[in-house]
A and B are shown apart, each in its own frame.
Chain A
Amino acid sequence: MIDILGHLGHGFVHVLAPANVAALLVGLVVGMLVAILPGLTLVMGVVLVLPFTYGMALLPSIIMLTAMYISGTYGGAFTSILFRIPGEPLDVPLLWDGYTMGRKGAPAKALGWTLYAALWGGLLTSTCMVLLAQPFAKFALSFDAPEYFSVIMFGLTSVVALAGTSMSNALISLFIGLLLSTVGVDEIYGAQRFTFGIPVLADGIKYITIMVGAYGLGEVFTRLEQGFQTQPVQYSAKRIKTQLPTLREVWGLRGTFVRSSLIGVLLGIVPGAGATITSFVSYGAESQYGKRSARLGTGIPEGIVAPQIASTASVGGHMVPLLTLGIPGSGATAIILGAFLLHGVQPGPQLFTDPKSTALVYAIFASLFLSVVGMCAMGYFWIRSLIKVMDAPEAVVSAFVVLFCVIGAYSERNDLNDVWMLVIFGIVGYLFDRFRFPVAPLVLGAILGPEAETAFMTSMISHKNDWVGAFFGRPISCTLMILTFVALGFPLIRAALRARRAWRAR
């Protein structure tokens, strides 16, 4: 424990270097802006900032992206409560009680509850992350190739199970992502796979073009087809202020605070349960177990606190498997993993064994604490200025998004072929959205595919092609494989039960 506190103390010292503070502030402001603008999703925003990190050192890059991630879970609350415009899908539950409370004449109070919830959720998740990371990493150090393969499979299938659309579509998206990662020259045999004699394909398809194309450009195409319908908002600056709740009021909601915090942190650790899902689940739990559950939706603070705490608390939860196992649990953490890889660093338990990388990890932890405090201060003092961004017309914002995407794809190798790929994946991203295939499994498959293949092939070589022995003969990998099947089977069983209930009700 003393060790951890010592590392964390050093982490704070590192973060307070001018370059890191600047990265943190930029990340917070951009994260807030992205969350406020309805045309830009948080994941897309993190993708767009990625090219700026190419020329930066690793630590400020990660600080900037994580600051964006956490402030993005908070910024959208303002537009949801004041204008009934959810900047992000995770802000939708805030419409039901937050906006209603605002309509009843207490928008400042609603914003106060949001700030309190974000602060609580953020500090709690940062603390949990610091406490959980070391034991997680120690445990992961005992992993061999079969365990790695199993943990990657578990991560991927959890993302599929929680993708929120059709299970088959999510699986298809995942398989396409895994398949794309096999294009190019194979590392062991040097065989060309799916290159069709095209030289540029021999180098493989860079996951960054898939990520930026499918998330960024695909979203722009989707919104262009809808005719950029979002209208600029006529806001009144006088309406925007925050009134904090009293300690007595907060104590009255202690049950909600505990429930939502637990849901946020625990679901955050599970790969696939992003901030949106945790936000909805927490609201759902409040509607089932809350003291005033019958009054949810009428503008009570429980309906604001529950989703806000859970979505902010999920961020730290997602960072634990990313830093200790190299498994991203959400779209945003997949991009943060991409930033690590672009700087030649593979996250995993080995980060905690080398003093230099341990310092890096604890500096990231420290930055999360500062990000939480910074975003709340920003929300309290600067929100009037930040919210002006909503006046920007969607066509103008989207033109800039395309530019960011193009430069993001081009600048990794200074190769225009990557930009062609970007446009192709932009169209693929649009088609995925049109036919309701989730994009997250595609991107995660493309990023984790090479690792999954290496772990699988190594396991097969060391176990002489005995896959049962490799994956089911070892306790940890066997447990993880069983969990993988449970993750896949759970939605099927739930859907079967629902169908049965619906049939009985007829």
Chain B
Amino acid sequence: MSARARIGAAAPYGVLLGLAAYLFRVADHLDFTRTEGRLGPDFWPKAILALLMVTCGYELLRRLLRAPGGQPESAVIGEATTVEDMEPEAAPPARHPYLLWSGAGLTLLYVASLEVLGFFTSTFLYMLIFMRLGRYRRWPVVITTSLCGSLVFMFVFMKIVYVSLPLGSEPFSAVSLLLMRLMGIR
């Protein structure tokens, strides 16, 4: 294994170790009045953070110090191998990072739009774009499913489960209120 690959494999543990060390420092400065002879509210999170740092440190070192051309993952001490050993080898699936980050961005945008556009409008738009992003090409199905899905969810959760879904702000709230009136939701 090249030095670059080893650093790449160890990086997540380094990040976690740094984060845990920072949080340990935060836990060390909690604001409370200590009672003599009793453990404070900082003890439990600090104990967890200490264990997290030890585990991350161990894994970081192990991955950094692994000998070039060393043993495969499953043969190394510290690796519990169970079910996966028995599964037949399969080719790793193709990855499309642009799809992932577009999907995550779209979902964040959807959450941000809920308060402005209201549940119905933002859900309709989200489903429409998400299905297209997921490379589903049949427009009539995409539009019908998005429309019916948004309406059915609105009806079931507002009328039957009594969840107060976001209505949006003016002028979009008018759409939500109109639909509610049509569905008999008060």
**Inter-subunit contact A492/B77 (CB<8 Å):** yes
The segment from A22-30, A331-339, A353-361, A400-408 found at the interface with B is: A400-408
**Residue from the list B62, B74, B107, B166 in contact with A217, Cβ < 8 A:** B107
The segment from A4-12, A218-226, A342-350 found at the interface with B is: A218-226
In the assembled complex, A280 has its CB within 8 A of some CB on chain B: yes
In the assembled complex, B127 has its CB within 8 A of some CB on chain A: yes
**Inter-subunit contact B111/A406 (CB<8 Å):** yes
Least Cβ distance of B30 to chain A in Å? 5
- Chain A residues 274 to 303 lying within 8 A of chain B, measured CB to CB, are 276-277, 280, 283-284
In the assembled complex, B81 has its CB within 8 A of some CB on chain A: yes
In the assembled complex, B162 has its CB within 8 A of some CB on chain A: yes
CB contacts (< 8 Å) of B100 on chain A: these are 221, 224-225, 430
**Inter-subunit contact B79/A167 (CB<8 Å):** yes
In the assembled complex, A165 has its CB within 8 A of some CB on chain B: yes
**Inter-subunit contact A277/B83 (CB<8 Å):** yes
**Inter-subunit contact A221/B103 (CB<8 Å):** yes
**Inter-subunit contact A165/B77 (CB<8 Å):** no
CB contacts (< 8 Å) of B37 on chain A: these are 464-465
**Inter-subunit contact B111/A420 (CB<8 Å):** yes
Least Cβ distance of A335 to chain B in Å? 18
Least Cβ distance of A274 to chain B in Å? 9
Least Cβ distance of B90 to chain A in Å? 11
**Inter-subunit contact B49/A54 (CB<8 Å):** no
**Residue from the list B30, B55, B108, B136 in contact with A193, Cβ < 8 A:** B30
Least Cβ distance of A461 to chain B in Å? 6
In the assembled complex, A178 has its CB within 8 A of some CB on chain B: yes
**Inter-subunit contact A176/B52 (CB<8 Å):** yes
In the assembled complex, A147 has its CB within 8 A of some CB on chain B: no
**Inter-subunit contact B41/A193 (CB<8 Å):** yes
In the assembled complex, B181 has its CB within 8 A of some CB on chain A: no
A54-B161 contact given A164-B84, A396-B141, CB 8 Å threshold? yes
CB contacts (< 8 Å) of A162 on chain B: these are 80, 82
**Inter-subunit contact B23/A416 (CB<8 Å):** no
**Inter-subunit contact B157/A411 (CB<8 Å):** yes
In the assembled complex, A92 has its CB within 8 A of some CB on chain B: yes
**Residue from the list A92, A395, A453, A491 in contact with B134, Cβ < 8 A:** A395
A55-B108 contact given A186-B32, A502-B71, CB 8 Å threshold? no
**Inter-subunit contact A179/B131 (CB<8 Å):** no
Least Cβ distance of A402 to chain B in Å? 7
CB contacts (< 8 Å) of A55 on chain B: these are 160-162
CB contacts (< 8 Å) of A395 on chain B: these are 130-131, 133-136
In the assembled complex, B114 has its CB within 8 A of some CB on chain A: yes
**Residue from the list A172, A190, A414, A430 in contact with B163, Cβ < 8 A:** A414
- Chain A residues 184 to 231 lying within 8 A of chain B, measured CB to CB, are 186, 188-194, 217, 220-221, 224-229
CB contacts (< 8 Å) of A251 on chain B: these are none
A178-B48 contact given A54-B161, A403-B127, CB 8 Å threshold? yes
* Minimal Cβ-Cβ distance residue in B for A400: B149
- Chain A residues 114 to 173 lying within 8 A of chain B, measured CB to CB, are 161-172
In the assembled complex, B170 has its CB within 8 A of some CB on chain A: no
CA distance A453 to B134 in the complex (A): 43
**Inter-subunit contact B83/A226 (CB<8 Å):** no
Chain B, residues 76-116, CB within 8 Å of chain A (1/0): the string is 11111111101100000111110110011001101100110
Least Cβ distance of A346 to chain B in Å? 20
- Chain B residues 36 to 87 lying within 8 A of chain A, measured CB to CB, are 37-42, 44-45, 48-49, 51-52, 55-56, 58-59, 62, 71, 73-84, 86-87
Instruction: Label chain B's interface by main secondary structure.
Output: helix
**Residue from the list B13, B73, B78 in contact with A492, Cβ < 8 A:** B78
Least Cβ distance of A412 to chain B in Å? 9
**Inter-subunit contact B80/A495 (CB<8 Å):** yes
CB contacts (< 8 Å) of A226 on chain B: these are 93-96
CA distance A456 to B27 in the complex (A): 18
In the assembled complex, A58 has its CB within 8 A of some CB on chain B: no
**Inter-subunit contact B79/A495 (CB<8 Å):** yes
CB contacts (< 8 Å) of A20 on chain B: these are none
**Inter-subunit contact A89/B32 (CB<8 Å):** no
CA distance A214 to B31 in the complex (A): 31
In the assembled complex, A485 has its CB within 8 A of some CB on chain B: no
**Inter-subunit contact A411/B80 (CB<8 Å):** no
In the assembled complex, A255 has its CB within 8 A of some CB on chain B: no
CB contacts (< 8 Å) of A479 on chain B: these are none
In the assembled complex, B33 has its CB within 8 A of some CB on chain A: yes
**Residue from the list B42, B99, B149, B164 in contact with A224, Cβ < 8 A:** B99
CB contacts (< 8 Å) of A496 on chain B: these are 77
- Chain B residues 156 to 184 lying within 8 A of chain A, measured CB to CB, are 157, 160-166
In the assembled complex, B16 has its CB within 8 A of some CB on chain A: yes
**Inter-subunit contact B96/A457 (CB<8 Å):** no
* Minimal Cβ-Cβ distance residue in B for A431: B12
* Minimal Cβ-Cβ distance residue in A for B73: A166
Least Cβ distance of B21 to chain A in Å? 13
**Inter-subunit contact A402/B107 (CB<8 Å):** yes
CA distance A191 to B42 in the complex (A): 9
CA distance A102 to B23 in the complex (A): 56
**Residue from the list B38, B59, B136 in contact with A168, Cβ < 8 A:** B59
CB contacts (< 8 Å) of B82 on chain A: these are 162, 164, 277, 280
In the assembled complex, B121 has its CB within 8 A of some CB on chain A: no
**Residue from the list A163, A168, A175, A277 in contact with B78, Cβ < 8 A:** A168
Q: Which of A161, A175, A280, A499 has the most CB of B within 10 A?
A: A175
11 A-B contacts (beta carbon < 8 Å): A92-B87, A164-B82, A194-B27, A225-B97, A277-B82, A395-B130, A403-B149, A407-B163, A457-B39, A492-B78, A495-B78
Closest 8 CB pairs of A and B: A395-B134, A491-B80, A191-B32, A186-B41, A225-B100, A395-B136, A175-B52, A411-B163
List 6 extra interface pairs beyond A166-B73, A398-B130, CB under 8 A: A55-B162, A182-B44, A229-B93, A395-B131, A396-B141, A416-B166
